[in-house]
A and B are shown apart, each in its own frame.
Chain A
C-alpha cells in the first residue's frame, strides 16, 4: 500500500495475471486519481474516482474508493508486459495541489 503502514513497493507478475495495488491517504479529498509512470516519462492519468463513487472502471482498470477508511485501490486485469510501470495514487486538493503517494512498481514478465 502507498502511505499506509504496509508499504507494498514492488510487485512482479506474469503476463495475463491480475494485479491490485492499494493506497491509503491522510489528507481529506473528494477526488483520488491514479497515474502510471513509465521509465523516463512523465506520469499519465489513468483513472479518476470521486467521493460519491465507490467503484469506477475504464477498460482493464478498476478503481475503488472507501472514504470512510480513506483508502483506494487500483486493479488491472489481464496484465500485459506494457503495463510495467510505477503506479501512483494522488489526492486532488482542489486545483492547488496534487499529493502523490509513494508509488507501487509493477513488473510484468512476458
Chain B
C-alpha cells in the first residue's frame, strides 16, 4: 500500500534560521508531488509541484525553494525563515492523468 510520510511533525524555529521539511512517498512509482502551505484558519495555497525527479515548478515562492532529489522524495527549504513562514505545510501526491490527490499529515511550523 502507498504511504506518504512528512517530517518533522512540528518545528519551532527562530527568524533568520534555515529550514528543511521532507516528504516521502512509498509504494508509487513516478508520482506527481506537491507542496502546500496553510495559514491558521486559512485555505491551502499551492507552493510547488514536481512531475519528475530534478524538476520543480514554482507556483508561489514565498521565499522558499523545493527540490526533488529522488523519485519518492520532495524537500522544502529556505536559508532564512521569516515570521510569515509560520503555518501548516502539507505534501501531496497524485498519479499522472489521475485526479486522486493524497495529502500527508503535515508539518506545523512556528517561527518566532
| A residues in contact (CB < 8 Å) with B | 31, 33, 40-45, 48, 88, 92, 95-103
Contact of A88 among B32, B44, B97, B108 (CB under 8 A): B44
| B residues in contact (CB < 8 Å) with A | 32, 34, 42-46, 49, 51, 57, 59, 90, 92, 94, 96-106, 108
A98 cross-chain contacts in B, Cβ below 8 A = 34, 46, 92, 101
Given contacts A96-B51, A98-B34, 17 further A-B contacts (CB under 8 A): A31-B99, A33-B99, A33-B101, A40-B106, A41-B106, A42-B90, A42-B92, A42-B105, A42-B106, A45-B101, A48-B99, A48-B100, A88-B43, A92-B99, A95-B51, A100-B43, A100-B44
Asked if A99 and B46 make an inter-chain contact with CB atoms under 8 angstroms apart, the answer reads yes
Asked if A44 and B103 make an inter-chain contact with CB atoms under 8 angstroms apart, the answer reads yes
B98 cross-chain contacts in A, Cβ below 8 A = 95
Contact of A96 among B42, B49, B92 (CB under 8 A): B49
Chain A residue at minimal CB-CB distance from B59 = A97
Asked if A97 and B49 make an inter-chain contact with CB atoms under 8 angstroms apart, the answer reads yes
Q: How far is the CA of A48 from the CA of B99 in the complex (A)?
A: 8
Q: How far is the CA of A106 from the CA of B73 in the complex (A)?
A: 34
Question: What 8 A-B pairs come out closest when comparing CB atoms?
Answer: A42-B103, A100-B44, A100-B43, A31-B99, A92-B99, A42-B106, A42-B90, A102-B43
Asked if A103 and B43 make an inter-chain contact with CB atoms under 8 angstroms apart, the answer reads yes
Q: How far is the CA of A97 from the CA of B108 in the complex (A)?
A: 22
> Chain A nearest CB: distance from B34 CB in Å?
7
A41 cross-chain contacts in B, Cβ below 8 A = 105-106
> Chain A nearest CB: distance from B103 CB in Å?
4
Asked if A95 and B103 make an inter-chain contact with CB atoms under 8 angstroms apart, the answer reads no
Asked if A42 and B99 make an inter-chain contact with CB atoms under 8 angstroms apart, the answer reads no
Contact of A43 among B44, B57, B59, B94 (CB under 8 A): B44
Chain A residue at minimal CB-CB distance from B98 = A95
> Chain B nearest CB: distance from A26 CB in Å?
14
